[in-house]
């Protein structure tokens, strides 16, 4: 066998081995593509929405909530502003009642202070005139302690009234929040009216021609319109 025949034989075997390697590579690629397609088809779940039992899931972007009463945004914002305004008014009324009670406590405390001061004045005179009688001295001390306690109660009631006024001032921010929400509602309503005006038409939907379920180029052609249906559709055009 010559050197040329040997080289030809070796080149032929090499070509066969390369062809076999390419065939195995293509087979593996086909299998990997097939498995990827199967996994993709398995991952694509059909989304079925039950509007009666729908729950918002932050991890899903689709589908959006159905337009039920629980998901109407403007309605919910209106409820928030109405309820918050009602509850804020009730809270302000309760705070005003508490403040009135505190004012009554302060007024009655001042009257009690006046009586105790008179008692102290009397017991001071009695104790000075009859120092050997212990009851006058004890009564004097007790009235002095009662005076201190009563003044402390009056002071704390005044501090409580100041805190009530501060709470009332803080509650004013609720009204600012309500106004902000109402502004959002007004913007949303304006956008809704604009979109309705933008997409409105002089042609009623009942007068519009029905659209074909499937047309050429659709991926799903299970229910493609037949020729008979096309002829019937064209005939209906002529009757209008």
Question: Are the CB atoms for 26 and 9 separated by under 8 Å?
Answer: no
> Residue 39's pLDDT is what?
45
3-state SS of 186-219? HHHHHHHHHHHHHHCCCCCHHHCCCCCCCCCCCC
> Residue 41's pLDDT is what?
44
Q: Span 21-41, mean pLDDT?
A: 52
Question: Are the CB atoms for 54 and 65 separated by under 8 Å?
Answer: yes
Q: In this structure, what token pair is assigned to residue 37?
A: 């397609």
Q: pLDDT band for position 40 (50/70/90)? A: very low
Distances in Å between the alpha carbon of 24 and those of 30, 31, 178, 216? 10, 11, 71, 39
Tokens 């009655």, located at residue: 108
Q: pLDDT band for position 162 (50/70/90)? A: very high
pTM for the full predicted model = 0.54
Q: What is the pLDDT of residues 109-139, one digit of tens each?
A: 999 999 999 999 999 999 999 989 899 999 9
> Residue 15's pLDDT is what?
52
Which of 3-17, 37-51, 102-116, 199-213 has the highest mean predicted lDDT (pLDDT)?
A: 102-116
Which of 5-19, 78-92, 102-116 has the highest mean predicted lDDT (pLDDT)?
A: 102-116
Q: pLDDT band for position 46 (50/70/90)? A: very low
Q: What is the pLDDT of residues 205-230, one digit of tens each?
A: 777 777 766 666 677 655 556 667 67
Q: Higher pLDDT residue, 21 or 107?
A: 107
> Residue 69's pLDDT is what?
73
Mean pLDDT rounded to a whole number for the chain: 77
């Amino acid at each position: 066998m010559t050197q040329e025949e040997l080289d030809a034989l070796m080149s032929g075997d090499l070509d066969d081995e390369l062809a076999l390697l390419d065939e195995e590579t293509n087979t593996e690629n086909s299998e990997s593509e097939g498995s990827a397609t199967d996994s993709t088809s398995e991952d694509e779940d059909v989304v079925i929405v039950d509007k009666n039992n729908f729950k918002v899931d932050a991890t899903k972007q689709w589908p959006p909530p159905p337009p039920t009463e629980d998901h109407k945004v403007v309605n919910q914002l209106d409820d928030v502003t109405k309820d918050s305004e009602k509850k804020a008014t009730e809270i302000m009324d309760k705070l005003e009642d508490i403040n009135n009670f505190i004012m009554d406590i302060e007024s009655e405390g001042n009257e009690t202070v006046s009586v105790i001061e008179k008692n102290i004045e009397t017991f001071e005179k009695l104790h000075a005139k009859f120092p050997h009688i212990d009851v006058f001295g004890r009564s004097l001390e007790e009235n002095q302690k009662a005076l201190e306690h009563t003044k402390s109660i009056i002071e704390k009631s005044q501090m409580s009234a100041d805190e009530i006024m501060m709470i009332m001032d803080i509650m004013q921010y609720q009204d600012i929040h309500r106004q902000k929400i109402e502004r959002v509602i007004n913007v949303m309503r304006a956008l809704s009216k604009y979109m309705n005006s933008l997409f409105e038409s002089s042609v009623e939907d009942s007068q519009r021609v029905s659209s074909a379920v499937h047309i050429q180029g659709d991926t799903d052609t299970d229910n493609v319109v037949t020729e008979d249906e096309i002829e019937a559709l064209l005939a209906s055009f002529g009757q209008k």
